[in-house]
Amino acid sequence: MADDKDVLRDVWFGRIPTSFTLYQDEITEREADPYYLLLPRVSYLTLVTDKVKKHFQKVMKQEDMGEMWLEYEGTSLKWHYPIGLLFDLHASNTALPWNITVHFQNFPEKDLLHCTSNYVIEAHFMSCIKEADVLKHKGQVINEMQKKDHKQLWMGLQNDKFDQFWAINRKLMEYSVEEGGFRYIPFRIYQTTSDRPFIQKLFRPVTAEGQTHTLGDLLKEMFPTAVTSDDGEKKYQVVIHGIEPMLETPLQWLFNISATRTISSTSVSFPCQQT
């Protein structure tokens, strides 16, 4: 029988086949071929697209190349969202591979943050980790870690090293059995149809009576329309890591197995999409 451990691996080794096409208005010296990559779902776009940049460098003049930014069907892709989240949010119901358009001009200042180096990603990543740990353990675990442990987490993500990452991350995922879970579940709910970037509130994994909260409980509280609709028809799709868990799934468990998400956004994210 499959074990929880296998789920961790499945989540970590999730890949999205992507084709990168240069934007038609970019000035090139010759025709640019599309570039194909398997992107790790748990990583960040700017962290894994060095190869893309190098590929298009071959056909472009240095002076025509500004900061690279990516766009999918008119939406600028925020690099500080995990890749899997971006895909689930914008492209989950389309045919694969995922067609991303590459831009080097006209950086959309109002939509995107600049990402000048990997340090920026690292800083963003670490702040997410810290934010999550504050919710989970009042930040005690992350603060007790040494600098090299922090580095190992980051290197694990950067180099796609499951064991390296999990050797440290497991400490962040510990909780006492007596309490039945974290202090609060670090999560964010992203929606396709909303102007708000995401919903984030304090939510405990267990009720005051010691009952475990389920995914359904969380949604009921955070986003009631996602679970209840008048005609009984499913209006929203709740997607985590490209799958739709049942609403009965206990939150703590869901979070344990999908915890790789901690690294990329603060938490489990629920892109809710209208069907």
Partner 1 sequence: MPSSLLWAVDVYGRVYTLSTAGQNWELCKDAHLEFKRLTSVQQCCWGIAGDHQVYLYVHSSDVPIRYQEETYENQRWNPVDRFCEKLLPSDRWQWSDVTGLKHQPLDSFRLPSEHWEWEADWYVDENIDGEPTEKGGWTYAIDFPATYTKDKKWNSCVRRRRWIRYRRYKSRDSWAKISSQDDGPLPDPFSDISAGGWDITDEPRGHLSLWAVSLQGKMWYREGIHHHNPEGSMWTEVTTPGEVVQISCGPSDLVWAVLWEGQLLVREGISRENPKGSSWVVVDSPSTEVGAIHVAVGINVVWAVTKDRQVWFRRGVNSHNPCGTGWIGMVGEMVMLNVGLNDQVWGISCEDRAVYIRHGVTSSELSGKTWRAIAVARDDDRSRSGSANSLASAGCFFSGEVRVQSSVMNDAESSSETERSQAAQSTSPTHADAMKRRIPKVTSDSFISELVSDKERKPGRDGRDGQTPSIQEEGAPQEQAFADQETSVELLPQSSSQQGARDPKWSNVDLEEAQPPLPAAASDTTETSSLSSVATYNLGMEEQYGVDEHPLWAWVSGGGCAVDSHTHLNWFNASTGVSSSVQSMSLSITPAQTAAWRKQIFEQLSERSKREMENFKHYEQAIEQSVWVKKGNMQWWRDWKPNKWIDVRFALEQFSGTDGNRDGILFIYYTFNDEKKYLHAFINEITVLVPVLNDTKHTFAIYTPERTKQRWPIRLTAATEQEMHDWLALLNLSCCDSRGIHGPPCKQAIWSTTCKGDIYVCEPPPNLEAVPYPLPCDQMFWRQIGGHLRLVESNSVGIVWGIGYDHTAWVYTGGYGGGFSQGLGSSTDNIHTQTDVKSVYIYENQRWNPVTGYSSRGLPTDRYMWSDVSGLQECTKASTKPPSPQWTWVSDWCIDYNTSGGTDREGWQYAADFPATYHGYKTMKDFVRRRRWARKCKITTTGPWLEVPPIALWDLTVLPCSSQSSIEEVALWGISNKGDVLCRIGVTQQSPAGTSWLHVGTDQPFKSISIGGGYQVWAIARDGSTFYRGSVSAQNPAGDSWYHIPSPPRQKLKQVSVGRTSVYVVDENSNLWYRQGLTPSYPQGSSWEHISNNVRRVSVGPLDQVWIIADKVQGSHSLSCGTVCHRVGVQPMEPKGQSWDYGIGGGWEHITIRGNSQEAPRIVMPVPAENTLEKKGSVAEEGSEGGGRTASISSVLCIKEEELNGNAVSC
Binding site for partner 1 (CB under 8 A): 1-7, 9-11, 13-17, 36-40, 43, 48-49, 51, 96-97, 158-164, 166-167, 170-171, 173-174, 177-178, 180, 208-211, 241-246, 248-250, 253-254, 256-257
Q: Which is nearer to partner 1, 129 or 168 (CB)?
A: 168
Q: How far is the CB of 237 from partner 1 (least distance, A)?
A: 12
- Side-chain-side CA neighbours of 219 within 13 Å: the count stands at 26
Q: How far is the CB of 63 from partner 1 (least distance, A)?
A: 27
> Which residues have CB under 8 Å from 88's CB, separation 6+?
239, 241, 242, 271
Q: Which is nearer to partner 1, 44 or 190 (CB)?
A: 44
User: How many other C-beta atoms are found inside a 10 Å radius of the C-beta of residue 136?
Assistant: 26
Tell me the pairing of strands 75-76 and 69-72: antiparallel
Q: CB–CB of 168/201 below 8 Å?
A: no
Q: How far is the CB of 27 from partner 1 (least distance, A)?
A: 26
- Side-chain-side CA neighbours of 47 within 13 Å: the count stands at 27
- Please provide the DSSP assignment of 103-131 as one string: E-SS--TTT-----SHHHHHHHHHHHHHH
Q: Which is nearer to partner 1, 97 or 139 (CB)?
A: 97
Q: Which is nearer to partner 1, 51 or 61 (CB)?
A: 51
Q: How far is the CB of 13 from partner 1 (least distance, A)?
A: 6
Q: How far is the CB of 77 from partner 1 (least distance, A)?
A: 15
Q: Which is nearer to partner 1, 20 or 69 (CB)?
A: 20
Among candidate residues 254, 90, 269, the one with its CA nearest the CA of residue 188:
269
Q: How far is the CB of 96 from partner 1 (least distance, A)?
A: 6
Give the separation between CA 188 and CA 269, rounded to whole angstroms. Answer: 5
Q: Which is nearer to partner 1, 17 or 224 (CB)?
A: 17
